[in-house]
Amino acid sequence: MSVPHGFDPSVSPRAYFAAELRRIRESTETSQKVLSKRIGWSESQISMVENGHRKPTRKFVEAVDSALKLDDALIGLYDMTDAMGGRLPEWFRPWVEIEREAKVLRTWQPLVVPGLLQTEEYARIMLSGEPGVTPAQLDENVAARIDRRGILSRANPPILWVVLDERVLRHPVGSEDVMARQIEHLAEAAQQPNITVQVVPLNSGATTGLSGGFVLAEIPGMADVAYMDSAQHGQVTDRTEEVATLSYRYEVIRAEALTKRASLKLIEEMVQ
């Protein structure tokens, strides 16, 4: 059996592997119960992997591949999907999985353009500031960030609601040309039906969001999840109280922002 074709990098690697595992198992007419007895893993563990709720270990994949006589096809698929996440720091990978599966993403950014809307050159300059990063690592980091943008152009993209501080638009990153192209890209993105960009003006006097940026993700059938920026490693949480607090903070910040139309006008004026 060969590795299945049609891998779509805009889909969560874990979700894709889970769906293919179920499809392959069912194509061999092997029930979860039978597979459980063959590999020594419980039915509930197999079910969690097939539902995308648990990341499979390589030992698990090797056992299934052997039990179903797949000639390393499943191992190959596992390596392929795992390689996608391999470009990313270990601590950030869970968030990228969430980001790819989310139906709605709401973000507040007081300092920089959010990663999903960054141009490649803007991203490169931002990531080059990481202490000790080598040219090869920088290339990998930039490629991983650009890969993430794929969720916005897939068949069923998430709703992305961005609230930015006006300082993000006015703080120079790189040359004037780099910044001009970034703002132009932002203006184009803001006109997409699934993307809303609102700007909190400098004269608003708002202080609620000065403590840092964050993202809120809504995934059908799951509790909302939040990602919070920090100086070193971001933090992912699904704790109800923390997510609720951030959601409330987001709405307070958004209440200070210009309307979608006024925000787009401001951004377009900066392009000119």
Give the model confidence (pLDDT) of 46-93 as tens digits: 998 888 777 788 899 999 999 999 998 898 888 877 766 555 566 566
Does residue 8 have a pLDDT over 70?
A: no
Does residue 211 have a pLDDT over 70?
A: yes
User: What is residue 136's three-state secondary structure?
Assistant: helix
Q: What is the pLDDT of residue 7?
A: 40
**CA distance linking residue 100 with residue 10, whole number of Å:** 7
What CATH number has the domain spanning 13-86? Answer: 1.10.260.40
When mean pLDDT is compared over 20-24, 190-194, 209-213, the highest value belongs to 190-194
Domain boundaries of the chain, sorted by first residue: 13-86, 93-271
Q: What is the pLDDT of residue 52?
A: 75
Does residue 252 have a pLDDT over 60?
A: yes
**CA distance linking residue 59 with residue 46, whole number of Å:** 13
Give the model confidence (pLDDT) of 85-130 as tens digits: 555 566 566 788 788 889 999 999 999 999 999 999 999 999 998 8
**CA distance linking residue 136 with residue 251, whole number of Å:** 40
**CA distance linking residue 109 with residue 112, whole number of Å:** 6
Copy the structure tokens of residue 204.
Answer: 């608003």
Q: What does 87-110 look like in DSSP terms, one character per residue?
A: TS-TTTHHHHHHHHH-SEEEEEES
Copy the structure tokens of residue 76.
Answer: 């190959």
Burial status of residue 59 (CB atoms within 10 A of its CB: 0-12, 13-18, 19 or more) = exposed
What CATH number has the domain spanning 93-271? Answer: 3.30.870
Whole-structure pTM over 0.85, yes or no? no
**CA distance linking residue 192 with residue 196, whole number of Å:** 8
